[in-house]
Amino acid sequence: MKVLITGAGGQLGSALQRTAPAHADINAIDVDDVDLTDEAMLRARLVVEAPEVIINAAAYTAVDKAEADEDLARAINADAVAVMVEAMAEQGGKLVHVSTDFVFDGTSSRAYRPDDARDPISAYGRTKAAGEDHLRDCDLLVRTAWVYAAGGGNFVRTMIRLMKEREELGIVADQIGSPTWATGLAQTIWGLLDKGANGTFHHSDAGVASWYDFAVAIAEEAHALGLIDRIPRINPITTADYPTPAQRPAFSLLDCRETRALLGSAPVHWRTNLRTMLKEEKALG
Q: What is the pLDDT along the chain (285 residues), one digit of tens a residue?
A: 999 999 999 999 999 999 999 999 999 999 999 999 999 999 999 999 999 999 999 999 999 999 999 999 999 999 999 999 999 999 999 999 999 999 999 999 999 999 999 999 999 999 999 999 999 999 999 999 999 999 989 999 999 999 999 999 999 999 999 999 999 999 999 999 999 999 999 999 999 999 999 999 999 999 999 999 999 999 999 999 999 999 999 999 999 999 999 999 999 999 999 999 999 999 998
Cβ neighbours around 23 below 10 Å, total = 8
In this structure, are residues 121 and 247 in contact, taking their beta carbons and an 8 Å threshold?
Answer: yes
Residue 146 corresponds to which amino acid?
Answer: W
- Give the containing element (helix H, strand E) for 222: helix 211-224
Strands 2-6 and 53-56: parallel
Q: Which residues have C-beta within 8 Å of that of residue 62, sequence separation ≥ 6?
A: 69, 73, 124
Q: Would you call 124 a catalytic residue per the annotation? A: yes
Whole-number Å distance between alpha carbons of 3 and 199? 19
Whole-number Å distance between alpha carbons of 267 and 147? 16
Whole-number Å distance between alpha carbons of 78 and 59? 9
Q: Which domains does the chain have, with CATH numbers?
A: 2-212+238-284 (3.40.50.720)
Q: How far is CA 45 from the centre of its chain?
A: 24
Selecting among 124, 148, 212, 242, the annotated active-site residue is 124
Q: How far is CA 186 from the centre of its chain?
A: 10
CA dihedral 187, 190, 196, 198 (to 10 degrees): 80
